[in-house]
Amino acid sequence: MSDRTAAPAPRRLREWEQRVEVPLLAASLLFLAGYAVRVLAPAGAGFWRDLAAALVGAVWLLFVLDYGVRVRLSGLGRRFVRSHGLDTLVVLLPLLRPLRVVHLYTAVQQRREHPRLSLYARVMAYAGVAAVLLGFAASLAVYQQERDAPGASIRTFGDAVWWACATLTTVGYGDATPVTPAGRVVAVGLMACGLGLLGAVTGSFSSWLIQVFSREDERRPPAGG
């Protein structure tokens, strides 16, 4: 939303963003995969865990570099930090990085000029992809924090995924909940995302209904009802 109100980005910034979008998306998925290996690899597989940690660090460095290039190309300096809040957050919390898939998706859509009817399908696809990526990242982060905590109810990665699903849908059974402060901070972030996901599903359904309805209005001659 905020992107529309901002001044038009300089051409070089846009060119940079278009060129690095696909590689950076691949890098962000690599980041997630590396983090997953780091968390889920058995304690014995020391080599693979170290390799994954190195990969994660290298990709993060890549993200920071890209952010720096974009700050410079935008010519906005510090204002870039404020006007591109999501980008800044994503550099600090790279597990949220895959959310930039949404940006790529929009770019692809605009090139293909898809018919407008798929707007709701697009929102649903966004929400679905975001839910899966966020849920997976949160499961990993919470599992890493909780697995060795005393009195934890999240003891396996399966428990963590189960907890993430119950949280994202705002069902919240409470049979598996984080008990460590770090795990709870991740959980609060996931709850907020669940609220947003609910908003996206509800909102797109609502606007779809309104559209179907107004189209029916146009087709029929206005009756007395």
* Residues contributing to the site for a copy of itself (CB under 8 A): 1-2, 4-5, 115-121, 123, 158, 162, 165-167, 169-175, 177, 181, 184, 187-188, 191-192, 194-213, 216-217, 220, 223, 225
Give least dist CB 121 to a copy of itself, A.
6
Give least dist CB 223 to a copy of itself, A.
8
Q: Which residues contact 36 (CB under 8 A, 6 or more apart)?
A: 136, 140
Q: CB-wise, 75 or 158, nearer to a copy of itself?
A: 158
| Cα–Cα distance measured from residue 199 to residue 140, given in angstroms and rounded to the nearest whole number | 25
Give least dist CB 85 to a copy of itself, A.
10
Q: CB-wise, 144 or 177, nearer to a copy of itself?
A: 177
Q: CB-wise, 144 or 180, nearer to a copy of itself?
A: 180
Under 8 Å between Cβ of 159 and 153: yes
Q: CB-wise, 24 or 130, nearer to a copy of itself?
A: 130
Give least dist CB 158 to a copy of itself, A.
6
